[in-house]
Amino acid sequence: MASTTANRAWRHKFANITSPSQNISLSSATPYQFRIHYVDVPAYNKNPAETAKKPPKGTILLIHGFPQTWLQFRHVIDPLSNAGYRLIVPDYRGAGNSQAPPSNAGFAGGKGGGYTKVVMADDLHTLVRDHLDIKEKIHVFGHDIGAMIAHAYASFFAADTASLIWIDCPLPGSKFHDSVKKAQVCWHFTFHNVEDDLPEKLVEGKERIYMRHFFDRLAVNPWGIPPGGEEEDAYVLAYSRPGAFRAAFDTYRAFEEDGRENLELVRRVGKARVPALAISGDGGFNKVGAREQLEEFYESVDAQTVKDSGHWVVEEAPEEFVEKALAWLGKVSS
């Protein structure tokens, strides 16, 4: 867990976002203003003298997954910052300390419409470009649901994206996603899609039990998210607040629309030219289709695995993840 001192240095902020902006033609705009929480970490965070002397090497947007918040990146924030990168680490809409708009906010139709990954990527693009006034291309890292959002960011906002790191997740619209979405390992894809708030009602009051199931089942190193630890406590607290699981399940209810949007963009404009790296845990099931699914959507793809890790890569093996991420950033920036 990051130290108290480090947490004080990480600048917690909020931005009011109106989503979606008019540059997303696939969404029927129903502007809805809500609040996005984010952490803004300057480059060379641990060395203020370096911050004053050196410009940052670039900006990295870190997008968490389910059932987590920005806190999942707690082990990698300082190493990436100290390597010279400014970090923007948000809670995406509906998670953590960000507000949870209703499902139809920002989208005219479809299950979980306000939680399509294009709409959620637009939230973060608005945060980066408009609120924070970052005009240069940024690197986008995403894990799990965050990887789906990162893909939407890198493909729909390719002109503003320097590179993508995709962490352990099947991508809606890909052949791999189609092959696993009904498999036993992804049983929750179906459960989370049930309507009339049934999943929400069944999980209410049992949030810790439900979340621990995923933390244990998908891990190789169970101490990445220790049972009963302060990290688990923080995640459970975040997802126990009103509306949090409704928003979380709506991200799954939007998968079919996400797949249609992903495929339609490739049909219209071709594969994205953003350099893309897939990082998977060597004990996770997603490594099997990682490269192939990205090759369906990107022209330049690499794939690597992290040892002694399952699905929760940045928490189970943060040091190796940082090593691979920095090597990749050096390669695409040279």
- CA angle 105/109/115 to nearest 5° reads 50
Q: Is 276 helix (H, G, I), strand (E, B) or coil?
A: strand
Please state the pTM of the whole predicted model. Answer: 0.93
265-279 residue pLDDT tens: 999 999 999 999 999
What tens digit of pLDDT does each residue of 202-229 get? 999 999 999 999 999 999 998 999 999 9
Across the beta sheet with 58-63, what order do the strands follow? 11-19, 32-41, 85-90, 58-63, 138-143, 161-167, 276-281, 301-306
Burial of 154 (0-12, 13-18, 19+ CB in 10 A): buried
**Quick one: what percent of the chain has pLDDT higher than 70?**
89
Please give the pLDDT value at position 9. Answer: 65
User: Token pair for residue 272?
Assistant: 């994205």
pLDDT-derived band at 152 (thresholds 50, 70, 90) equals: very high
Q: Which domains are present in the chain?
A: 4-333 (3.40.50.1820)
Q: How confident is the model at residue 103 (pLDDT cuts 50, 70, 90)?
A: confident
- What is the rounded distance in angstroms from the CA atom of residue 61 to the CA atom of residue 70? 11
Please enumerate in sequence order all residues whose Cβ is within 8 A of that of 108, keeping only pairs 6 or more positions apart, or say none: 27, 28, 30
